[in-house]
Structure 1
């Protein structure tokens, strides 16, 4: 059985798309006869504090579903202060640096990026050890940081990040990109680099549509995921207009904007917006089985970003109300998965919600069935992994 190591900043029991995505990759590689190990921080995300089972520990080794998980020390934080967040990333990066330097590692290693500093230090050590380095890029940094105004263009931090970015692309053996935009960008820096498209498809193990469309109930739109700056869920709650419509908005998740959202909903006395907090993935799927539409927002159009929620909820049969621009917009439109509003245009978004409000339950039910069938064939994780293995990506 061939060995492969995955280096990631997130892994279950942490919640969110990033942790789920890496776990799916690990499990699928195991199912295809790889001996898989993962190195990640002690569990702390999304609250930015160590989970009770990891407090007071420097490192922990676990076995989760036949995957060996090595958790290393981190100074956890979700502070909005950039220096504090850099310190948090640096703490795990240094733990990882010494781990990779002195521990025996497999010949093949998958490195998740971002965080950029984490991937840089990993690739620096692994290149010295002459490993096959598979760089898995889910977002383009520092480009995304500039678009989110987290970095100032042409600043020292920006220039240093650009240097880190070029280094990791050049030193990687090959690159997996979650979008065509990512691959296009990478090839502007390293034109001859071997690249593969690797979408964030889920594996729900659902063969039949399980969603229930309830009669005599409002149409239930939901958001589930990180409540961070990039998603802009707080602004969505501020500017969405549900007055006089047969529509409710339900929010699940945790993150930096959680308290703002809770405060807004209490002060505004908005009867059609409900906040449920963070739920376990399986618990969430049970809760939303009678819901109708998944909203996927981004605060600004981020080049290279394709939110995995498109595939996550499309594969369950949910129509998508997409509000993020870019390649994700094209995926929703081309696969007839729902509605698209231009990113940041709340007039257009509210217009789409009015259209949704006029749908009959029969129309919604048919739409769910069509999307489920489309996703079964188009968003197939097994086929994707098998194709990548056949092309020697792993």
Structure 2
């Protein structure tokens, strides 16, 4: 099978979107299929394009057997709504302008959203190439930005929602990452039979428990510290200011130290808040390449998974929970909904109310004061993801969906 996959995010960018398609695609290649990934030049979340791509409009390359078609993008940091829209729109146009002809023959078109505007490109690819069209939904957009208060114009919202529903109805198959997303689409009149749930997962051979990396501990002065770690996007959705306030509550415990790894629109604000509160128990670390992630997870004693107290986020599953569990680390998760149900079933986390500072601080102390619980939660998490969320088995499930779409067409 020749698989055409359009995605705004792709390695060397790190994060859930790029990891999902990259690891899936590697498994598809191993199964004997040809994968053609249409993406843009890496720039997320810093807005900086690596030197080897500067000044280019298009470049074809290969990564682990995957054909990668990189296209021009208006590069901008992951903050500022208008600039981000231009970033998304630029890839929508450039992917069609540069890659539509060069990609050659494909048997199926898959497009991943967000970004929303990529769907336009994917739909056009499917029409011109005369292939089945699979729409992958990782976030309910525009609902997410409406809930966060980023978009308030009712007319624009209604237009975007009408376009969203058109694409849902036009797709031969829809792949969503949570059961809640499927229920949402069904409630809006989309046929249940065309919606498949393929969650995020983890490469269980890449993410695993290893001894703490002494070099990292020394580099960041973390020796003899009980490390409470957050890795990921520093954006509106994560409510990281509440973690800063939890760190303030625990500042009397000299051995507890908070570590934040990553970038995002809210990073400067939370760093300013930490400085304003005169906290010495926090270290901020810039975004690191994916190959470093297991090393950072493995210096942690506790990993944090926070989300803002927004009803829509009850339907979200942060993919980092699978990486953390694969590394056998206990989790303090300040969230509700489907992710809480998964973590409770796995018995690998203490879950508390989203944005509840007192409960976050208390959960950290609860785990810290119970070393046996730390070990049990770690083992429970690893066993759970190996059984239920292995990326290779999820990739096989995705292939079945593609075959169904081709046969149905």
Q: Same fold (TM over 0.5)?
A: yes
Q: Is the alpha carbon distance of 1:55 and 1:381 closer, same or farther for their aligned partners in structure 2, counting shifts above 3 Å?
A: same
Q: Is the alpha carbon distance of 1:99 and 1:324 closer, same or farther for their aligned partners in structure 2, counting shifts above 3 Å?
A: farther
- State the alpha-carbon separation in 1 of the partners of residues 136 and 363 from structure 2: 35
Alignment of 1:29-178 (within 5 A): 29-78=28-77, 80-99=79-98, 102-103=101-102, 104-152=104-152, 155-178=154-177
Which one of 348, 359, 371 corresponds to residue 370 of structure 2? 359
- State the alpha-carbon separation in 1 of the partners of residues 155 and 139 from structure 2: 21
Q: Is the alpha carbon distance of 1:354 and 1:388 closer, same or farther for their aligned partners in structure 2, counting shifts above 3 Å?
A: same
- State the alpha-carbon separation in 2 of the partners of residues 386 and 326 from structure 1: 27
Aligned twin of 1:372: 382
- 3-state secondary structure, aligned to 1:116: coil
Aligned twin of 1:226: 233
- State the alpha-carbon separation in 2 of the partners of residues 17 and 263 from structure 1: 27
Give me the TM-score of the superposition, normalised by structure 1.
Answer: 0.91
Q: Is the alpha carbon distance of 1:123 and 1:222 closer, same or farther for their aligned partners in structure 2, counting shifts above 3 Å?
A: same
- State the alpha-carbon separation in 1 of the partners of residues 390 and 134 from structure 2: 21
- State the alpha-carbon separation in 2 of the partners of residues 86 and 206 from structure 1: 34
Q: Is the alpha carbon distance of 1:25 and 1:247 closer, same or farther for their aligned partners in structure 2, counting shifts above 3 Å?
A: same
Deviations 1:110-153 (A, max 9, x none): 1001111221332144235431111111110111112111122x
- 3-state secondary structure, aligned to 2:360: helix
Aligned twin of 1:236: 243
- State the alpha-carbon separation in 1 of the partners of residues 191 and 135 from structure 2: 16
- State the alpha-carbon separation in 2 of the partners of residues 234 and 326 from structure 1: 21
- 3-state secondary structure, aligned to 2:145: helix
> In the TM superposition, what is the alpha-carbon distance from 1:280 to its structure 2 partner?
1.4
> In the TM superposition, what is the alpha-carbon distance from 1:166 to its structure 2 partner?
0.5
- State the alpha-carbon separation in 1 of the partners of residues 388 and 333 from structure 2: 18
Deviations 1:51-108 (A, max 9, x none): 2111111111111111111110111123643222212211111112334654534121
Flag the structure with higher helix content.
2
Q: Is the alpha carbon distance of 1:371 and 1:249 closer, same or farther for their aligned partners in structure 2, counting shifts above 3 Å?
A: same
- 3-state secondary structure, aligned to 2:262: strand
Question: Does residue 292 in structure 1 map to residue 304 in structure 2?
Answer: no
Q: Is the alpha carbon distance of 1:46 and 1:79 closer, same or farther for their aligned partners in structure 2, counting shifts above 3 Å?
A: closer
Q: Is the 8 A contact 1:183 1:197 kept in 2?
A: yes
- State the alpha-carbon separation in 2 of the partners of residues 113 and 390 from structure 1: 20
Runs of 5+ in structure 1 lacking a partner? none
- 3-state secondary structure, aligned to 1:48: coil
Alignment of 1:172-321 (within 5 A): 172-188=171-187, 189-205=189-205, 209-211=209-211, 217-240=224-247, 241-245=249-253, 246-301=255-310, 302-321=313-332
- State the alpha-carbon separation in 1 of the partners of residues 391 and 41 from structure 2: 28
Deviations 1:204-232 (A, max 9, x none): 41597425599x94432211111112122
Q: Is the 8 A contact 1:100 1:122 kept in 2?
A: no
Question: Does residue 339 in structure 1 map to residue 346 in structure 2?
Answer: no
Q: Is the alpha carbon distance of 1:363 and 1:340 closer, same or farther for their aligned partners in structure 2, counting shifts above 3 Å?
A: closer
**Root-mean-square deviation (Å):** 2.4
Aligned twin of 2:219: none
Aligned twin of 1:328: 339
Q: Is the alpha carbon distance of 1:100 and 1:186 closer, same or farther for their aligned partners in structure 2, counting shifts above 3 Å?
A: farther
Asked which structure has the greater RCO (Cα within 8 Å, sep 6+), the reply is: 2
- State the alpha-carbon separation in 1 of the partners of residues 10 and 346 from structure 2: 30
